[in-house]
Structure 1
Amino acid sequence: MPLSSAARSLAARCEPRVNELARRMARESFEDLPGYADLPDDVKDLEIAATARHGVRLFLRRVSDPEAARPGTHRLFRERAAQRAEEGMPLHLLLRTHALGVYVLWQALRDVARPGEEAALIELVDVLLRSHPAVMGAVAETYLDERSAMDAEQRAQQRSLLRGLLDGVVPPGQVLLDRLRLRGPALVLALGLDAPPPEGPVAVRRRLRRVQTVLDRVFGQEVPALLDGAGGRVIVPGDGAPPDDLPQLLSKASGLRVRVAAVRSDGPEHIPEAAGTATEILRIARACGLPTGLHRLDDVLLEYHLSRRNESSHRIAALLDPVAERPELLETLRTHLSHRQDRRATAAALALHPNTVDNRLAKITEQTGIDLSSPRGTALALAALLLRDSEE
């Protein structure tokens, strides 16, 4: 609806005061807002004052031309919001300047209003209040989009640095250590999550956020971590130790069974080696069929030694070639070894009759020549399994 001539006349009286109003907002009205006084003078005198001036003129244009709110009207507000986000101004402070600016403009209209112009003043306030939500929405949306993009970029950089350090590709220079808050010893963890049922990326991200939250809470700090749907690697700065119930806490948060391998690193330069050892401990624990839980090198010391590759490795791994196409035999062997060659425990774990277990073990001995009843044969079978798993 077109405004009355009285309303347009009242608004026109504020036209000569645009620069004064902008300066008052930037240098007086906003000074009482928490944190505003700490902003640089050039930001106040140039950018914030210019934004306030643009806002006042935009209002006056709307009064004279109700169709003035065209696409692009909020471009300057959006640009300034992106700048403030990049500079780190809190969103609440940015929104308060806009809200307070509306109040200062209302005061200016009230001050120039004459007796009998109450109806005209109400018309102008109606225009002012109707246009304000769109401005605030544009400012908040742009600010949050910019912060989200910046946060995503920082997370990507952090993940890249972390991956480079764990893989030994990026040397632990001072800048890297400052970014990751690493100074001295650290604990390196390898996490293994059971395969989840088929799910979308949103469900995976939610699970990983819950895992990260548990890690941060348990260790009392924001823990650098590279996580994915299968697990990941974690660096915990400091000389603390993982609590024994960490796998249970992570399982409760993720809804999956979790393995955790822990290795101590004496300094940043030893982190790649510790990460490699932790990953290998996790693999061996899986390959040996150990129950999910917290694993250290001492828990798989013999298996770790047997799985080291040398000139004889391929020949040991080849001992199981005759049964390579019989996955049920390999699984029976693996379960039998992980249950300390207890045929009844093996049968219970595989939901088989003990006689079936005996028949399968006999078939393995027959086809491979490995005597599973002797200590030497048991060691050979275990080494062959571990070496084949490492090849895969």
Structure 2
Amino acid sequence: MTLSDRARVLALRCEPRVNELARHMARESFEQLPGYAGLPDDVKDLEIAATVRYGVRLFLRRVTEPHPGPGGLRLFRERAAQRAEEGMPLHLLLRSHALGVYVLWQLLRETAEPGEEDALIELVDLLLRSHHSLVGAVAETYMDERSALEAEQRERRRSLVRGFLDGTLEPGRALLEQLGLDGPALVLAVALEPSADAGEASGGEASGGAGPRGPEPGGPQPGNAVTVRRRMRRVQTVLDQAFGAELLFLFDAGAGRAVVPRGGEPPGDLAERLTRACGAEVRITAVAAATPEAVPEASRTAVEILRVARTCGLPPGLHVLDDVLLEFHLSRPGPSSHRIAALLDPVAGRPELLRTLRTHLAQHQDRRLTAAQLGLHPNTVDNRLARLTELTGLDPSSPRGAALAIAALLLRDTTAGPDGASAAG
């Protein structure tokens, strides 16, 4: 945009008043902005006044340089980032720039003489065009800085919550105050249920293990990563609404853990609400912690309940310890754990036998229900179980054999080596 000579002359008459205008804005004009009066005098007289001087001179320079070089808005971007870091609301920052444009317009109007109306209109047109670019740069920088700061805060909080739940951070007074914990709590573990085909592809029976492992925080999950993250955010929203508070929530892939301050009981329809929100089946469990210091152990118990519930073939939903009390006890590592887990080593490479055994036990040893669940003929189920007995010596039709088979399936998740076989010596 090329300005007329009369417009340039008018602008040049304003230049001697730049310092006066900067002091006026810093000391009087901006006082009407909320919170401005409480700023230290040196901030007003040095930083803010300097920014005003820079902005006015940048505008006046554009009168004679229609196409200024890059970097003209650098200072405004720096100030916007600084205001974002200080926590100034964006609307106040933008109001200060809008007010500055109005005060500059007043200066131009007061300086203009009769007959310079056209020149004044040219300068106002330039002023409004410049303000458009300035507001865009300021808002963009502010939002970028706020996003970066909030991401840092979220990551720091995630690290604190992770360390607390995993027991790697001592639950001292300072940490508990930051997390808002000062009494009993309820620890939740939640996991999205993977599809059957995805479960096999992600390290289930096809890899030689004892079937799909229960989802654990930090463990790999099937499905599109973006979809999984979106679903887990929905899980967090539902949990916050269900308990009427913003919970300490930590999720990785398709599993998460949450802490409900002051404890309580989960709503009976919580699993159904989560499933509706996610569009996927969900497992969830809750374990009470009498004190904040008991939260890490409650977290480990909650995650283990989910793993045992899946290994036992329970359908997705809300699980409590009593649902898997015997299986939970059988899955505890001990001196005999490796030897029990190793009982299934002979069929580690036969996923169809392990799948049949798992389903047979989950269906209370009913061959017809097992066959229907697997889409097989009942005779095929009998043949597979007979082959498993022949290879392992376990007879799932007997009480002792069934108990050993359950314990072996549960313990293999804990004692399995990299190839899926038991680590027994």
Normalising by structure 2, report the TM-score.
0.87
Partner of 1:246: 270
Q: Given the alignment of the two structures, is residue 221 of structure 1 paired with residue 248 of structure 2, yes or no?
A: no
- CA offset at residue 191 of structure 1? 1.5
1:54 corresponds to which letter in structure 2? Y
CA distance in 1, matches of 2:379, 2:93: 76
Task: Give how far 1:297 is off.
Answer: 1.2
Counterpart-to-counterpart distance in 2, 1:199 and 1:13: 67
Paired letter, 2:103: V
Matching residue's letter, 2:347: V
> Per the alignment, do residues 309 and 205 of structure 1 end up closer, same or farther by CA in structure 2, a change over 3 Å counting?
closer
**Cα distance, 1:324 vs structure 2:** 2.3
Structure 1 residue ranges, 4+ long, deviating more than 4 angstroms after superposition? 196-201
Cα deviation, 1:13-34, whole Å, max 9, x if unaligned, reads: 2222212222222222222233
Q: Which letter maps to 1:11?
A: A
Query: Which residue identity is paired with 1:16?
Result: P
Identity of aligned residues (%): 70
Query: Structure 2: 5+ residue runs without aligned partners?
Result: 199-221, 417-425
Pair 1:354-2:378 in alignment: yes
Letter in 1 for 2:238: V
Which is richer in helix?
A: 1
Indicate the residue corresponding to 1:149 in structure 2.
148
Asked if 1 retains the 8 angstrom alpha-carbon contact of 2:238 and 2:274, the reply is: yes
CA distance in 2, matches of 1:33, 1:199: 50
**Alpha-carbon separation, structure 2, partners of 1:84 and 1:343:** 70
State the match for 1:4 in structure 2: 4
TM-score by length of 1: 0.94
- Deviation string, structure 1 residues 151-196 (Cα, Å, up to 9, x no partner): 1111111111111111111111223222221211111112221237
What displacement does 1:367 show? Answer: 2.8
Q: 1:54-133, aligned counterparts within 5 Å?
A: 54-67=54-67, 69-133=68-132
Aligned residue for 1:314? 338
Aligned in 2, Cα 1:201/1:16: closer, same or farther, shift over 3 Å? farther
Q: How does 1:1-392 map to 2 (within 5 A)?
A: 1-67=1-67, 69-195=68-194, 200-392=224-416
Say whether the 8 Å CA contact 2:228–2:254 is kept in structure 1: no
Aligned partners of 1:40, 1:213: CA distance in 2, in Å?
41
Q: CA deviation at 1:259?
A: 0.8
1:150 Cα shift?
0.7
Give the drift of 1:88.
Answer: 0.1
Using the TM superposition, name which of 350-359 and 48-57 deviates more: 350-359
Structure 2 CA distance for partners of 1:99 and 1:199, relative to 1, 3 Å: farther
TM-aligned CA deviation for residue 209 of structure 1: 2.2
Q: Deviations over 1:113-145 (max 9, x none)?
A: 111110010111111011111111111111111
Contact 1:260 1:293 in 2 (8 A): yes
Question: How far, CA to CA, are the matches of 1:205 and 1:34 in structure 2?
Answer: 39
Q: For residues 315-366 of structure 1, give each alpha carbon's deviation from its aligned partner in whole angstroms, at most 9, with x where no partner exists.
A: 2222222322221111111111112222222222112222222222232233
SS of corresponding position for 2:263: coil
Distance, in Å, in 1 between the alignment partners of 2:179 and 2:299 is 16
Task: Tell me which of the two structures has the higher relative contact order, counting C-alpha pairs closer than 8 angstroms and 6 or more residues apart.
Answer: 2
SS at match of 2:268: coil
Distance across 2 between alignment mates of 1:202 and 1:362: 44
What amino acid maps onto 2:234 in structure 1? R
